[in-house]
Amino acid sequence: MLLKHKRAVVYGATGSMGGAVARVFAKEGAIVFCTGRTRASINKLASEINNAGGKAFAAVVDAMNEKEVNDHLDDVMQQSGGIDVSFNAIGISNKQGIVLTKMSTNEFVDPVEMTMRTQFITATAAARAMMKKGSGVILTLTATPGGIGYPMVGGFGPASAALENFSMHLAVGLGVYGIRVVNIRSGGSPDSRPFREAKEANPEVMDAALGKMRADTMLKRQPSMADIANIAVFLASDMAATITGVTIDATAGTTAGINYRTSEKDFEAN
């Protein structure tokens, strides 16, 4: 078990990605403190983890509320004696599908402001707790537009880029305390709830959109939630003890170069 005896706090654990990471953390031996805004949903997840042989605790926490985050971490510290891993996977509403020139200022700015607010609150709160024992891992999650220009994504792209930069700068300040900060850049998981719901509502449109996203990757596939969760486990473990201050690209090759036109014929022509 890669995370045996580790104490992990997951914000937004009732979301599809947050839930996937919480489950795998527990499977790998971590004690998982699951948080969310809906008591019934967060209790259900904790019960599921416990029934599967893991160890989880549930708490209603608004990750946009600094006091609630700090109060919860105080409870975690009293209950477990410390925190080893923090992962914020809460969902942020954002408008996409139109060009920036047709967006209102609030439509563009709000996802950037909200993303940075919640990530700053949870990451710095975790850091203060981790500094007391001289170790810990803070994980964040972004997507393809954080590393490459991508059309029609509104404020989501700048929000991803801002979070990746924040993660890097936070790592610089916390390294002397033995704390690692790493961001994971995903290419969008087609089995996550937002994609599933969108496909149920507009199957033909989403099939075409997902096809284009796959074509934009080197591996011609998108990362699943399990792929991202497994990467999070590795980064949270001692096996990644020297990895900090970077964004791990898990986009299946999208941000390293969009090569959907590449084929044997292209090479033959050159």
Bridge partners, 58 (sequence order): 34
Q: At 217, phi and psi to the nearest 5?
A: -100, 155
- The pTM of the full predicted model, rounded to 2 decimals, is 0.91
pLDDT in tens, 89-98: 999 988 988 8
What is the distance in angstroms between the CA of the first residue and the CA of the last residue of the chain? 49
Q: Can you give the pLDDT at residue 258?
A: 57
32: three-class secondary structure by DSSP = strand
Domain formed by 7-192+224-258, architecture: 3-Layer(aba) Sandwich (3.40)
Q: What is the mean pLDDT of each run of 10 residues along the chain (270 residues)?
A: 97 94 98 97 97 98 98 97 97 89 96 97 98 97 90 92 98 98 90 74 82 84 93 98 97 72 47
79-122 tens-digit pLDDT: 999 999 999 999 998 898 889 999 999 999 999 999 999 999 99
Share of the chain above pLDDT 90, in %: 73
Lookup result for tokens 């019934």: 40
Question: Helix, strand or coil for residue 14?
Answer: coil
pLDDT in the model for residue 200: 80
Q: Are 108 and 213 in contact (CB under 8 A)?
A: no
Per domain, the residue ranges of the chain are 7-192+224-258
Compute the 3-state secondary structure of the chain and give helix, strand, coil in percent, each to the nearest 5.
50, 15, 35
pLDDT at residue 266, as a whole number: 47
Q: How far apart are CA 264 and CA 242, in angstroms?
A: 39
* Distance (Å, whole) CA 27 – CA 255: 31
Amino acid at 254: T
